[in-house]
Structure 1
């Protein structure tokens, strides 16, 4: 018992990390490192972090801000975002119709003016049909281009120009059909026959030569003989309207009228020693023919708009 009383009083273990046990050369002095945090002991920094407002880094408002201050900060943030968007719009290049879209527009312009279902070649009918097709297919056009008057006007100008160029090609082809080596043919037998003329007009397009298309071209040539001047398209539309009115909406009577026009042309121009194949139309031509209807075309023709007032002058080519 006396020996036990001589033993030193037990002490709590030191809080120092046992550096010496690991590295004898290390400093044995207490470095003052705090104890690790646990559920019973929180360091001051942990307590301050827990008490801090838990706002996100991207938030412009703090949870402790009064509602009026929060609203003001949000309005300022929206204005800053709007200014950045406006600066982005200003930096964008002006809209232009791409070359690929212009090529597609040219193909559709040819398919429309060479469609056997078109009710009028001049005015807003063909233009509105082409614009409707562009709204369906879009190509690389902006999704909301119709809502931007300036950009949409550029697209309409390209559409008008494509139709004007195709009308010009048709008139030049009709004029050339009466010539041999660029000189007036001595007789009607040396004119281009209707199959050759139609083949020339569809060259470079998505259209195919069919008896129905040859009949439409024959009507064009018949009108061209009577009026090849600037009012050619007006005269053509008048004759086409007369034929449709006489048919009274009867498809059989309409086909019979065009068959008579084609037979007259074959008997008058060129040598009638050929047959016209019934070719399968291209998908583009089929899409155009399915889109066009006499009722829709007539409705478009009877509702002129301010933008259509300039079509009459452009269509005289």
Structure 2
């Protein structure tokens, strides 16, 4: 168990529902709980639509939580007003998935990076802002010459570097990375990941890293949480979850990772996930994975499993281990 002084972010029973009319609602995030230590990286993985991005956007308060608590640096920010949140936002920033949509096309790179500095009153003039903007551009692999260009003049990888620079320029304690490399070419992905890791080693920033590429998450994360249909089903140290996955869903995700070596690929135990993700408006009763699980029993259909310690801090929500 982490020392409370080392815990930067604590999420307790975080829930986010979206009303869709006729009294129905989408169960996007359902009672998710975890802790993130200072300077560490927690990876959140799962299929598209499992609630990873909604969890991230609720934590940073782009979305209002339906239930639960978000405790950042000892302060409960779950229901703060926009005015009360303003000083907190300086310490928690977000890198968005789509570098083409997340940058203002009418602003130069210099203005994009200077905007948060002015918003938090860290500078008073453009000249003063330049003292922050130019070193940050160089830190993310760009140059001073890029400062006067517009977003449409850059490649996807360069745009994402601008997005990263915008998030890091305030020197936040927490950066939420919402699939920051999924829209980029494979050749660029490693560069961006190495950039983020180097900055973390230098600054001690904590990352909540959201992705669906489990091999990449293993490379960047200290802990990994697996989400399915709005719920956290497994959580433990990164190496442990790859060496000893417990939940059938986690095993299925790992079994789907392609292996480059044909000999090793033939030896690999196949563990596929059958069927499609059920509707988040009408999720299955009890264990939400029971409709796709090859090991499901009657108990899985009647009683919801609880996320509990299976030994050594390895948390799993599955009746197989009762």
| Structure 2 length-normalised TM | 0.24
Higher relative contact order (CA 8 A, sep 6+): 1
Could you say which structure has the higher strand fraction?
2
Of Structure 1 and Structure 2, which has the larger fraction of its residues in helix?
A: 1
